Structure 1
Amino acid sequence: MEFVGYARVSTQQQDLTQQIEKLEAYGCKKIFKGKHSGKEATNKEALEALLKYIREGDTVVVTKLDRLGRSLSQVLVCLDTLMKRGVNLVTIDQAIDTKKSDALSTAMVQLLGMFAELERNFIVTRTQEGKAATGNYGGRKPKLTKEQEQEIRDKLANGVSKVKLSKEYGVARATILNISRKGKL
């Protein structure tokens, strides 16, 4: 039996040091590390390497349950994989130990997974609300105002060429073409 650690942070700027220190203090000799969002393939590779490494009777140790995935389904799939292979899971900060197979421990694992997903949804919702409040959805600002686009449509209707309009407004001919197409919708 071996304690195998798994540490993950969501961005390159975040630090794994605190997680690694906790895992080493718990007794993990081998620690797999991921420094990427749960949505990225590189984190999946680190988790897959962990799953290939562990054997029946081992214990996977994480600081928190949400290190295993960013959604309840990801966490539960990982937990199911561990259970089927006879591997236990310990979360240091949340005092979960799947060696205890009673109903309360099972319910606690599922509840914590749901809370991890709920927290992630709150973050996404707050981010979207912030974007809506500021009007900053990312991307480049349009070069032309709605009024300028209407002027272009009017000039196109009067026979002015797209090339001439692109020079006049300082935009690509494709922009003028896109404006002309929008007017036909």
Structure 2
Amino acid sequence: MARIGYARVSSVDQDLEVQIERLEAEGCKPIRSEKVSGASRDGRSELAAILDFIREGDELVVVRLDRLGRDTRDVLNIVHELDQRGAFLTVLDPHVSTRGEPGRIVLTVLGMVAQMERRFIKERQKDGIEKAKLSKVYKGGARRVDREAVKAMSAGGKGPAEVARAFGISRMHVYRILKGEEAGAAD
């Protein structure tokens, strides 16, 4: 029975160290980590790898539920996939596990809270952007990915997953850059 740790932050600027140290202290081996949004499961290759190789009796451990996902449906689907494999989920803060029915109920509520929090963040961000636009100070976010380097790596024969890993972005982001769909968008 393995305790598999999963750490996630939303952007390449953020640090995974605190989560990884906590997972190591809990005896997790291996620990998989990634820098990608938790809004959906798109582009989360490390989580997908865990779900592919987790076995009966294994335990997936995350520091907080929002590190697993910010969408209630996604979190519940992950719990369901773990159930199908005979594995469990443990959240360290607050300590909750799917080994028992009460833990499942608490996880459902926490998942709903994480989803609400994400909506609130997006609403505050949208309000701030609108206010900045009205005051003529909004210029959009700074680009964090060298699009030409992404295109060159892809043209050099590297697949979208490899390009995404190299730049710390999602595969979907790679596809958007290659299609040119985000000409004026910030990363």
1:123-178 CA distance string (max 9 Å, x none)? 00000100111213739xxxxxxxxxxxxxxxxxxxxxxxxxxxxxxxxxxxxxxx
Q: State the Cα RMSD in Å.
A: 1.7
Task: Please point out which of 127, 130, 141 is paired with 1:132.
Answer: 130
Superposed, which structure 2 residues align to 1:10-159 within 5 Å?
A: 10-38=10-38, 39=40, 41-42=42-43, 44-101=44-101, 104-135=102-133, 136=138, 138=140
For 2:79, give the aligned amino acid: L
Q: Percent identity?
A: 43
How many residue pairs get aligned? The number is 136
Report the 3-state secondary structure (helix = DSSP H, G, I; strand = E; otherwise coil) of the residue aligned with 1:13.
coil
For 1:35, give the aligned amino acid: K
After superposing on structure 2, the runs of 4+ consecutive aligned residues of structure 1 that deviate more than 4 Å are: none
CA contact (8 A) 1:7 1:20 kept: yes
For 1:119, give the aligned amino acid: E
Higher share in helix = 1
Report the 3-state secondary structure (helix = DSSP H, G, I; strand = E; otherwise coil) of the residue aligned with 1:61.
strand
Distance 1:80 1:2, change over 3 A: same
CA contact (8 A) 1:131 1:137 kept: no
For 1:18, give the aligned amino acid: V
For 2:14, give the aligned amino acid: Q
Report the 3-state secondary structure (helix = DSSP H, G, I; strand = E; otherwise coil) of the residue aligned with 2:8.
strand
Report the CA distance between 1:106 and its aligned residue: 2.0
TM-score where L is the length of structure 2: 0.68
For 2:9, give the aligned amino acid: V
CA contact (8 A) 1:57 1:87 kept: yes
What's 1:156 paired with? none
CA contact (8 A) 2:70 2:111 kept: no
Report the CA distance between 1:105 and its aligned residue: 2.2
Report the structure number with the largest CA radius of gyration. Answer: 1
Q: Does 1:2 align with 2:2?
A: yes
Whose relative contact order is higher, 1 or 2, with alpha carbons under 8 Å and at least 6 apart? 2
- Distance in 2, matches of 1:40 and 1:116, equals 15
- Distance in 2, matches of 1:16 and 1:138, equals 26
Consecutive unaligned residues in structure 1, runs of 5 or more: 140-185
TM-score where L is the length of structure 1: 0.69
